[in-house]
Each structure stands twice: as structure tokens, then as C-alpha cells.
Amino acid sequence: MASALTWFFWLLSENPQVTTIIREEINKNLPRTGYDQENLDKLVYLHATLYETMRLYPPAPFQRKTSIKPDMLPSGHKVDANSTVIFFLYAMGRMRAIWGGRRMGVYSETGELRHEPSYKFFSFNAGPRTCLGKHTAMIHLMIIVVEILQNYDIEVVKGHKIEPLPGFILHMKHGLKLQKWIGFGPEQKMVEAEAIIDRTSSHHEDALTFFIKLDTSKYEFLDPFDDKFLRSVVLGLILAGRATMVPALSWFF
């Protein structure tokens, strides 16, 4: 999930028109606070762009299957018993033979998600081995994206080199370096949250311990009795570029 978010925000920075469409969809369908699953289901374009990100940059770039008995693939290739078949999702997501030449392969012109077989869009595996957490993962991805896009603009450092790092998980080789996050509206208090993160790092103290011990009277914009306070700290970890925002929640807990 974290790998998908890193690639997603980089793609948004390269396609500001897509960011605009997603924000319009969010503003149209979600209240600023208190949205639920029914509201998230209306974010069709966001859903499609997340799928599109995982088509082009699948978090797990390859899969492996082992045959129990001899079989034949739909392509006509014979597979012997106990054979290992490895397929490269990163390449599959870019093959014209599979997806044609269209972009947004999982989004239709009518504004709906286009159904594609799970054996074609393989980011969550397929058949009896389909990821059990697929639905939950998509909810979490959408909530994080909504929270960030409602409060921040994204700008990658100019000249920063973007390339994938081959491995079991498709991370960015050089991370995702961002300009200082630009907050707007009530979320400008994130400036104070960043100060918390910097102080945590400089004192080599885990974030949760520091959060508990924090003297909030020193921070003008932070109210410890406000439910947004904890969210600000968590978002601060994500947005501060700590290890390209991948282990943000791990660092927090």
C-alpha cells in the first residue's frame, strides 16, 4: 500500500490536471469531516487513478506460480508438472497486447470503472488466491489520498531522479523528495506538527513517547483535546518525507 501511494503522488505531480479532477470529485462528494464508505464509493475517478497507478507500478512487480500437474496455458504453451512460472506484472501493465494503447485502462468514458478480469489486472492476485485485504487496502488508500489532497499541494524537487528499485516490492530507488509541503486552510497548523517531528528526530526518541510527553502549551495551533491533533501528527510523519513516507505509521506506532 505504501509503495502504491509513493508512485501515486509522483504521478499526480507529473499530471496536475488529474489532481484537479480528483479534488473536484472529492469536493463534490465528500464533506470536510465525517465521510463514510458510502461517500468514498462515489470517488470513481480517484479509484480508477489508484488502479491505474498499480497497473503501471504494481507494488509486487512479479508473481510466481508452481504447477501441480501438467497443464496448458491459454497461449498454447505447455507447462510440465512441478514447473515454476514467473510473470512480470510491471511489463504486463505496459503491454499493448493486453491493454491496447489506451491510458486509464480501468476507467470508461462514461465515468465508471471498467470491469477488467483479475487475471489481467493482477495487483491483488486472482482466483482463489485473491488478496483478502483488497477492499480494506483500497479504503485506506483513498482515505489517505483524500486527507492529503484536501490539505496539501504536492511538488517534487526539481531534477530529482525517479526510477524503480527492482525487488519483491517496487520501491523508488532514490525515494520521493518533495519541496516543503504547502498547507492551506485550517491545516496550516501542520507547521507545528512538523516542529514536533523535527524535535522527535533530534532527540532520538520514538514518536509515540514524545507525543505522550508533549507540552502542547508551547504550540499555539495545537489543541490536545481536538481530535485533529493526533491526525496532524500522523499526517506530519507521512508528509515530512521520512523514508519517502513509506513507513510513516510504523514510525508513529
CA–CA distance, 61 with 137 (Å, rounded to integer): 17
pLDDT, greater one: 36 or 70: 70
Domain membership of residue 18 (yes or no) is yes
What CATH number should be reported for the domain holding residue 143?
A: 1.10.630.10
Which of 159, 179, 199 lies at the terminal end of a domain, its last residue?
179
Are residues 34 and 128 both part of a single domain? yes
Mind listing the pLDDT tens digit for each residue in 106-146? 665 566 777 778 888 888 888 888 888 888 888 889 988 99
pLDDT at 197 over 90: no
Q: Which residues contact 148 (CB under 8 A, 6 or more apart)?
A: 9, 154, 235, 238, 239
Instruction: Calculate the average pLDDT of the chain.
Output: 75
In which band, very low, low, confident or very high, does the pLDDT at 54 lie, cut at 50, 70 and 90?
very high
- Three cell numbers at 125? 492476485
Are residues 142 and 251 both part of a single domain? no
CA–CA distance, 123 with 125 (Å, rounded to integer): 6
Domain of residue 35, residue span: 2-61+90-179
* Rounded to 5°, angle at Cα 150 from 146 and 154: 95
Query: Taking residues 188-197, what's their average pLDDT?
Result: 50
Are residues 96 and 168 both part of a single domain? yes
Are residues 152 and 214 both part of a single domain? no
Please state, in angstroms and as integers, the Cα–Cα distance from residue 74 to each residue in 12, 61, 71, 119, following that order.
Answer: 36, 22, 10, 12
Q: How many domains does the chain have?
A: 2
